[in-house]
């Protein structure tokens, strides 16, 4: 399970340090891909494989499913952390998420997400009120 918020910086080569508490879980490999809201998702390779299997189970006659499959797969990059726990974020993915230097890595239960720090602050602030007022009974 991935929990917490970690403020970091990309280095000059576009690498990020994985949060220390998750390095062992991701040591065997990971997949970085586009996520909605213009952030990136970092999946353990086996969890990503299960997600792909779910996406592939949908009918290829559905335009929405084809579009989702294309966007996830075409933006995915298999990566392996180095001995220091760094992983390279490919340039195209950095561009998609607007990552330049200051980033935030958040735990999102079954994956990590990587956000531009300013975008995360804006998104988080906007969601805070809705979250505080969330009431299952008001549907």
Give tens-digit pLDDT for 20-41. Answer: 999 999 999 999 999 999 999 9
Helix residue spans in 7-62 (DSSP H): 23-26, 45-56
43-75 pLDDT, tens digit per residue, is 999 999 998 888 888 888 999 889 988 988 999
Q: Which residue range(s) make up the domain with 91?
A: 5-138
pLDDT for position 21: 95
The Cα–Cα gap between 48 and 42 comes to 9
Which residue, 15, 14, 13, 44, is CA-closest to 27? 44
Structurally, the chain folds into a number of domains equal to 1
- Work out the pLDDT band at 139, boundaries 50, 70, 90: low
CATH number of the CATH domain containing 66 = 3.40.1550.20
114-137 pLDDT, tens digit per residue, is 999 999 999 999 998 888 888 776
Q: Is 65 helix (H, G, I), strand (E, B) or coil?
A: helix
């Amino acid at each position: 399970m991935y929990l917490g918020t970690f403020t970091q910086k990309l280095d000059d080569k576009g690498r990020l340090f994985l949060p220390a508490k998750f390095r062992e879980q991701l040591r065997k490999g990971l997949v970085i891909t586009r996520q909605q809201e213009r952030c990136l998702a970092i999946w353990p390779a086996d969890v990503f494989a299960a997600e792909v299997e779910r996406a592939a189970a949908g009918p290829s006659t559905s335009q929405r499913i084809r579009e989702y499959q294309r966007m996830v797969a075409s933006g995915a990059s298999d990566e392996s952390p180095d001995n220091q726990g760094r992983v390279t974020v490919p340039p195209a993915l950095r561009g998609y998420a607007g990552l330049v230097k200051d980033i935030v890595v958040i735990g999102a239960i079954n994956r990590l997400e990587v956000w531009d720090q300013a975008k995360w602050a804006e998104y988080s602030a906007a969601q805070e009120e809705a979250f505080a007022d969330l009431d299952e009974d008001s549907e």
